[in-house]
Amino acid sequence: MGLQLKKIDNFKPRKGPLLLIIMDGVGLAKPGKEAASAVVQAKTPNLDRLFKSELFTTLKAHGTAVGLPSDSDMGNSEVGHNALGAGRVFAQGAKLVDGAIENGSLFNSKHFKHLVEQAKAGKMVHFIGLFSDGNVHSHLSHLHAMMDYLIKNGAKRIRIHPLWDGRDVPERSALDFLLPFEEKLSQLRQEGTDIKIASGGGRMNVTMDRYEANWQIVKKGWDAHVLGKGRAFASAKEAVEFGYSQNLTDQYLDSFVIVEHGEPVGRILDGDQVVYFNFRGDRAIEISRAFDEENFSYFDREFVPKVDYYGMMEYDGDLHIPKKFLVNPPMIERTVSAYLAAEKVTSFAISETQKYGHVTYFWNGNRSGYIDAKLEKYIEIPSDIVPFDQKPKMKAREITEKTIELLRSGKYQFGRLNFPNGDMVGHTGVMDAAIVAMETVDEYVGKLIDVVNELDGVTIVTADHGNCDEMWTEEKGIRQPKTAHTLNPVPFVIIDKNWHGEYAINREIKGGLANVAATILNLLGFEKVADYEPSLIKFK
């Protein structure tokens, strides 16, 4: 690859390993919001001490700092880990799709042109995706833009398969998005377009599994979208209201199928066109495989329609999932791990299933597999398949024990791990569980720091975005659970027992997640890469 790093002349790296701990979903509450923060309300003696350190600062982890369109856009684990590993900021997710719609490149792509041709010829077009404006996995404006373009160019038959959000938006907001949309569909039908909502369900229960944690979630979606199997309703509104009557929130609503005259209105059949309009990859890969793969063994599909299937983006660039996509992903080359591999620095990455892909695939710039298998070790701890508020400790103990084993082996100069608790439990909206999650993370962060100190190494503790730092919102004295990510900054602290003032936090820069890569290089004894964001430390 021709990658090369320069050694720092005036700093000798520590004898022991450098460990990066990413506390997923752990932001810092704004003043006056402490009561809603599980980070604040939990007993976290280790973090409390770290946050008072001279080597502590805060980082931006949302909006333009991670390549999203504006600073009103919450960060997420995917763009966060991209920025952490890349050392630079790339246009991401919604911003990438927004640009492709604005400049017309989406509509001029060969696959969208084929989609238009098929639609004009009378083929049914299906849109499946997260039905909100959360801007983390999808945005309804993208669905509207594609629908409008198709109808303008002669499409006559369209079906929508909405996946309710309630996670990146308020937990019971499905009808806020659905009712105006239904009004639009009614108008389009009056104008001659055969367009209807056909099937769907809540994102954590239907279609949107990730990292192969539970293929039955994908099967539920397949059964509803393709086979027309699921609880039957006369309208999507009726389906949502039934779920609410069962005391469910949007993300956990069961699958539904819209039926007229005893038949599903929109099964996916041979010859149809299917667009999965989520732009984020983790919860798009499995359903894409179900449509694309011939030798598929994860569940019985019963019937496999011969369709043209398109992802909004290529969700896995190495494995080419899906085979057809509408918007090219950001090209992230020269990640920090690529440079370290070129310098023969040994490393490991570890998390449980829910975040394993973040410390590997996303960290490595949307690249599957090892950069150099001789130098790297990737460890996945299988996640439990239970609601996360029921087991808020998740696999923190197992991650810690394996990490300690790797550290003590003496084989690795750099390691990175992700504790998913703050994010996955934060998304449930259950404060008591989120407090347990934070206390668990605090305990194991402390244990890992002790081991790294014993080995004369350095620990970095940070996060990829906020979540459990704001567990509820309050309006007019009424509290509502908050299950979405936050716009809050995240902590960053270096723990170096051999530090004697050789370097300091560079408080002249307003750091973001992309600044971490250069900091890692510095602490390993290398100068930053020329076009990387500045290091968070400066040498004296």
Catalytically annotated residues = 77
**Strand blocks (E) in 173-249:** 194-197, 199-202, 231-233
Rounded CA separation 407/180 (Å): 55
Q: CA angle, 460 as apex, 456 and 465 as ends, to 5°? A: 165
Strands 414-419 and 347-352: parallel
Amino acid making up residue 50: L
In contact, 387 and 202? CB cutoff 8 Å: no
Residue 126 backbone phi and psi in degrees, to 5: -110, 135
Amino acid making up residue 192: G
CA dihedral 172, 195, 106, 224 (to 10 degrees): 60
Q: Which residues pair with 480 in a beta bridge?
A: 473
**CB neighbourhood size of 323 (10 A):** 15
Q: Is the peptide bond before 330 cis (omega within 30 degrees of 0)?
A: no
Amino acid making up residue 220: K
Rounded CA separation 40/461 (Å): 17
Q: Please tell me what DSSP assigns to residue 449.
A: H
**CB neighbourhood size of 243 (10 A):** 23
- The pair of structure tokens assigned to 7 is 């050694």
* 14 to 450, 452, 458: CA distances (angstroms): 15, 11, 7
**DSSP assignment of 89-151, as one string?**
----HHHHHHHHHHSSHHHHSHHHHHHHHHHHTT--EEEEEE-SS-SSS--HHHHHHHHHHHH
Residue 248 DSSP SS3: coil
